Amino acid sequence: MRTLVEDYDIVVVGAGHAGCEAALAGARLGLNTVMFTVSVDSIALMPCNPNVGGSSKGHLVRELDALGGEMGKNIDKTFIQSKMLNCSKGPAVHSLRAQADKQAYSNEMRKTLENTPNLTIKQGEVTKLLVEDGKITGVKTYSGATYNCKAVVLCTGTYLKARCIYGDVSNYTGPNGLQAANYLTDSLKELGIEMFRFKTGTPARIAGNTIDYSKMEEQFGDERVVPFSFSTNPEDVQIEQKSCWLTYTNEKTHEIIRANLDRSPLYSGMIEGTGPRYCPSIEDKVVRFADKNRHQVFIEPEGLYTNEMYIGGMSSSLPEDVQEEMYHSVPGLEHAKIVKNAYAIEYDCINPRQLYPTLEFKKIKGLFSGGQFNGSSGYEEAAAQGLIAGINAALEVKGQEQLILDRSEAYIGVLIDDLVTKENHEPYRMMTSRAEYRLLLRQDNADLRLRKKGYQAGLISEEDYQKILTKEEQIKTEISRVEHTNIGANKEVQTLLESYNSTPLKSGTTLAELIRRPELSYEAIKPLDKERPELPWDVQEQVDINIKYDGYIRRQLKQVEQFKKLEAKKIPTDLDYEKVGSLRIEARQKLEAYRPISIGQASRISGVSPADISVLLVYLSSTK
Amino acid sequence: METTIAAISTAMSASGIGIIRISGENAMDVISRIYRSKGGKKKIKEVPTHTIHYGYIYDGEELIDEVLVMIMHAPRTFTGEDTVEIDCHGGVYAMQRVLDTVLKNGAEIAEPGEFTKRAFLNGRMDLSQAEAVMDVIQAKNEYALRSSMDQLKGSVQKAIRNIREKLIYHIAYIESALDDPEHISLDGYPQELLEVVDNEQKEVKRLLKTSSDGKMIQEGIQTVILGKPNAGKSSLLNLLIGENRAIVTDIAGTTRDILEEYITLHGISLKIIDTAGIRETKDIVEKIGVDRAREMAQKADLILYVVDSSVPLDENDEEIMEMLTGKKAIILYNKTDLQPEIQPEILEEKTGHPVIPISAKEEKGITELEEQIKDMFFGGEISFNDEVYITNARHKAALEEADRSLDLVRNSIEMGMSEDFFSIDLMNAYENLGKILGESVGEDLVNEIFSKFCMGK
């Protein structure tokens, strides 16, 4: 039988947030790339919450943008509300979150993909990976067609053997009723890849015109919106915004849930997948936090194209009739009509410890993966991995050095290192507490941290690169000027200090010392700073933060120095651990299975002790 | 830059001299801070390499000891790094004070096997020795880990666990609020945290004081009493305790088959462990006791083997005598009040250990036993487990670091910093306290967040 055969450099499987970034990166780096999706109408679909960003996830998007990814630009074009979270906290935890118009988001991304040279979009299900001598050579689709290629990036999201469940109803479909991918798992297993089964869920969507908003608190966006992308002109995002609404569950809601727990598939054992603890269903919350008599419920618009509202905080897999009763018990939702039921979804994903930090499979050269397929959760986590996997697939095809971000360089580095190094048995979500050097990994300096890396990889233009070099220089010069500008205890100074309730000066000091006072800032002391040059706002922001938190930042930089030393000590990936005498058995087995690329990574594997690390160091230096 | 490390490199006993070794880039800085020559004029940093200098060790203005200091610049040293050796007076107390002073002035306590590891990594050892070096590192670490937990008093462990529990709860609270600001508010929280920090820091400081007094760990010569059932082990123990009413503590975790007591003999601390009588047995409970006795004997610094002189030797005695091989031991020829069935000379010949006739019942021979122990200790034959002091130094360093971190938290609160700054130093304190228990942080925080706080979506 004759079948279609085509040749590409890179095949990307999946067109969700990871797939889009991977495909764009591959094509933009000049490689002939094809992207497969079960439905071209579901490109960059947001099957769960209608927002991008949020605490620590906002960081991921900013970093991805700095590296040359698309998500930041796309949400800037399609958001309908935006908020900087944690504004009252330190700069390290400020985080952007935007409500998206889901349809617009999807359409804009599709447009971008369609207009990218070297990129082909195909509707079709990839069913088999073709591997020869431990190296990927292509894929086969359901139709029997063969696509030869040099690298594959798997971004199958929640589609592998997907099953949607509520009550005793279960459908073998992907999210939103889309077709599941039922064959690829078997092909992966045949290749010796270890699979996990994870679970997640989504709340109901309710018709907006059946909601009584007068019983809810209105939640506005920020007055002055900050764009996600470093390339977006801030003036372009000052648009009219849509509101979200806040209401609460109550004892009655909880009673309804408790009375019907036996009908929940989670408690009846019908669901076998492992669900995330950070994103519990409402029935989970009621059971696990029984002392709380109410939970917050956020009502968020799905977009401008529809009146459907997302019921944040009330995801569930209870039966349809219980859902109806439960939602109706919430103030403002008494007469609400459910458009789409809440459901839980189960899917196959991999044990990500089978990947190198480049997101390439250790066992199969040229095979990369990203997103929920790697056991993460969230659009932002997916996009970030998709970008890195896409870049590395392209770099490998080109024979260039791979891109690895470490834990001191980016949240993306933390995300990937956690996935490939730590044991994790639930969908992984980014959190700011996972980043040990978070004072350095701020959303405001993502461009300063990563533009250069994006430029080296080939996704950032010369012009943008030059811009960042100029910015760096301006910041350095201004910090040095402020540190060295003395200021006397004159009347003008004392008056200004008084107006900020700041202790008057006893003797002269520097401008920097004043900025370090919690009640003052770079902006506040402007009247005293006669020589201050005109500088862009983002340069001023960096000067302020760097001076203000100097002590804290310096301490973290010192820790990073120690950290980097261990990261720099590389371990050959073909090391025979059997030959390393004196390793404890547990450590030997773990090292054998994980194959860390550096002493640093090895030291983060649970079960590997400091003594094992010393032993490894001695062994490596004896075999040099 | 590698850290500068220090450790005691002679046995911790009442020997004549002790050597403290310092190695690393800052070794010369450390010694120049604490060394003074007799005339006070010598600049120790400027003396030629591989020379010896007479002088004093000072901690600030306090004279610690009279010493000889050997200055050796890299690379011709054991570790290949700048190295200083301080020959100080022997004896537990003197050595510990010198080491404390060194640690206070910029050195860190060496990890087990670290000198050897550095020597190897700096190319000061033959590559063929790699295997041996790895074995040393692993063995020393295992030993240190085990003795660290063995030595840590139950009450201290509990206190540390309590502090850690409080700290992780508050870190998780802050972090949950940062991750989910719309669900969890931090209004008015800094004041609450300040109180928590105050309380927990008080605890840390209390523990620090305990560790300075050397009371955090159970020290003393590990002395194990062995013997067949009814040989008179317990009477001996009671006698020793009765004569020396210096019982230090009772121990949590003492099982019914092993009894531990602390006594002081002529200023020498003994940790005396009574064991189950050793005999062939099918009784499971009794067998466990016997196995434990064997285990204790292996760890012992000194074994007191009590022999009932009124019954002939049998296979059980043979077994006990086997446990004595390679150990320091004293044979107690008990029940001299009864008709003897064995001769003391035979015992001495068979075991090669000194034999002292006693009668626990008539309280005879105890003075002779005490004299014997004293002679062995001051003659340097038996010694403390060196690791005890090293462990204590490590614990202290960790507590000090935790204490400093809590200071930083308080500082941040008082300066009106935002909450995200607090959790960084709280975590540091948590991590350091964990080192004492041999626990790493792992996923503790994430687990605490998810189990205690209800997060969004």
Residue A592 annotated in ligand binding: no
DSSP state for residue A623 in the 8-state scheme: -
**A338 with A108: CB under 8 angstroms?**
no
* Overall CATH class of domain A475-553: mainly alpha
Q: Quick check: B454 and A518 CB within 8 A?
A: no
Least confident of A221-225, B106-110, B229-233: B229-233
What mean pLDDT comes out for the span A95-108?
A: 98
Q: Quick check: A619 and B445 CB within 8 A?
A: no
B187/A contact by beta carbon, under 8 A: no
Residues within 8 A of B (CB atoms), A 427-456 only? 431-434, 438-439
* Overall CATH class of domain A205-344: mainly beta
A40 burial level (CB within 10 Å; 0-12, 13-18, 19+)? middle
Please report, rounded to a whole number, the percentage of residues in chain A having pLDDT higher than 90: 92
Q: B217 to chain A nearest CA, in Å?
A: 23
How many Å apart are CA A440 and CA A616, to the nearest integer?
Answer: 30
Tell me the pLDDT band of B94, cut-offs 50, 70 and 90: confident
pLDDT for the residue numbered B439: 84
- For residue A581, what is the nearest residue in chain B, using CA coordinates? B131
A298/B contact by beta carbon, under 8 A: yes
CATH topology for A569-622 is DNA polymerase; domain 1 (1.10.150)
Residue B246: is its pLDDT beyond 70? no
Q: B228 to chain A nearest CA, in Å?
A: 37
How many Å apart are CA A69 and CA A92, to the nearest integer?
Answer: 22
Cβ contacts below 8 Å, chain A against chain B, sum to 130
Cis link prior to B354 (omega < 30° from 0)?
A: no
Residue A144 annotated in ligand binding: no
How many Å apart are CA A510 and CA A496, to the nearest integer?
Answer: 15
* Count of CB atoms situated within 10 Å of the CB of B189: 17
A551/B contact by beta carbon, under 8 A: no
pLDDT per position as a tens digit, A175-193: 988 999 999 999 999 999 9
How many Å apart are CA B370 and CA B391, to the nearest integer?
Answer: 28
Residue A285 annotated in ligand binding: yes
How many Å apart are CA A592 and CA B143, to the nearest integer?
Answer: 25
Average pLDDT of the residues of chain A: 95
Nearest CA to A183 among A143, A152, A133, A149?
Answer: A143
Q: Quick check: B424 and A88 CB within 8 A?
A: no
How many Å apart are CA A38 and CA A121, to the nearest integer?
Answer: 11
Using DSSP's 3-state secondary structure scheme, residue B334 falls into: strand
Strands A338-340 and A195-207: antiparallel
- Range list for CATH 3.50.50.60 in chain A: 5-156+355-457
Residues within 8 A of A (CB atoms), B 143-172 only? 171
The first and second tokens of residue A345, run together, are: 């979804």
How many Å apart are CA A505 and CA B127, to the nearest integer?
Answer: 63
What mean pLDDT comes out for the span B370-393?
A: 70
CA A321, A323, A329, A331 dihedral sign is negative
Residue B4, amino acid:
T
Partner residue opposite A618 with nearest CB, options B133, B416, B421: B133
Q: Which residues pair with A53 in a beta bridge?
A: A97
Q: B416 to chain A nearest CA, in Å?
A: 7
**A591 with B122: CB under 8 angstroms?**
no
**A385 with A370: CB under 8 angstroms?**
yes
Residue B248: is its pLDDT beyond 50? no
How many Å apart are CA A554 and CA B390, to the nearest integer?
Answer: 31
Residues within 8 A of B (CB atoms), A 508-547 only? 518-519
Q: Quick check: A86 and B178 CB within 8 A?
A: yes
Test the A interface: residue of B121, B125, B179 with most A CBs within 10 Å: B179
Q: Quick check: B181 and A86 CB within 8 A?
A: yes
Helix then strand then coil, in percent of chain A rounded to 5, is 40, 20, 40
A138: alpha, beta or left, given left = phi > 0 and alpha = psi -120 to 50? left
**Distance (Å) of CA A620 to CA A281, A574, A610, A615, B361:** 48, 12, 15, 9, 62
Q: Quick check: B456 and A580 CB within 8 A?
A: no
Q: Quick check: A611 and B141 CB within 8 A?
A: yes
Q: Quick check: B424 and A90 CB within 8 A?
A: no
Q: Which residues pair with B329 in a beta bridge?
A: B303
Q: A203 to chain B nearest CA, in Å?
A: 9
Residue A278 annotated in ligand binding: yes
Partner residue opposite A90 with nearest CB, options B140, B420, B445: B420
How many Å apart are CA A475 and CA A535, to the nearest integer?
Answer: 9
How many Å apart are CA B426 and CA A232, to the nearest integer?
Answer: 38
Partner residue opposite A611 with nearest CB, options B120, B137, B418: B137
How many Å apart are CA B257 and CA B293, to the nearest integer?
Answer: 8
**A22 with A47: CB under 8 angstroms?**
no
Q: B8 to chain A nearest CA, in Å?
A: 20
Residues of chain B in contact with residue A552, where contact means CB-CB under 8 angstroms, are 421, 424
Residue listed under structure tokens 């000891």: B65
Residue A518 annotated in ligand binding: no
pLDDT per position as a tens digit, A399-447: 999 999 999 999 999 999 999 999 888 999 999 999 999 999 999 999 9
Three-state SS annotation for B150-175: HHECHHHHHHHHHHHHHHHHHHHHHH
Q: Which CATH architecture has domain A5-156+355-457?
A: 3-Layer(bba) Sandwich (3.50)
Residue listed under structure tokens 């050097």: A437
Please report, rounded to a whole number, the percentage of residues in chain B having pLDDT higher than 70: 84
A167: alpha, beta or left, given left = phi > 0 and alpha = psi -120 to 50? left
Nearest CA to A430 among A385, A389, A388, A378?
Answer: A378
What mean pLDDT comes out for the span A156-173?
A: 94
Q: Quick check: B178 and A88 CB within 8 A?
A: no
Hey, what's the torsion of the CAs at A145, A149, A152, A157, to 10 degrees? -30
pLDDT for the residue numbered B217: 56
Residue listed under structure tokens 């306290």: B433
Residue listed under structure tokens 């905080």: A313
Tell me the pLDDT band of A81, cut-offs 50, 70 and 90: very high
Strands A486-487 and A509-510: antiparallel
Residues of chain A in contact with residue B420, where contact means CB-CB under 8 angstroms, are 86, 89-90, 92-93, 432, 438
- Higher-confidence position of A496 and B264: A496
Using DSSP's 3-state secondary structure scheme, residue A50 falls into: coil
pLDDT for the residue numbered A414: 98
- Range list for CATH 1.10.150.570 in chain A: 569-622
- Range list for CATH 1.10.10.1800 in chain A: 475-553
Residue B159: is its pLDDT beyond 70? yes
Residue A94 annotated in ligand binding: no
- Range list for CATH 2.40.30.260 in chain A: 205-344
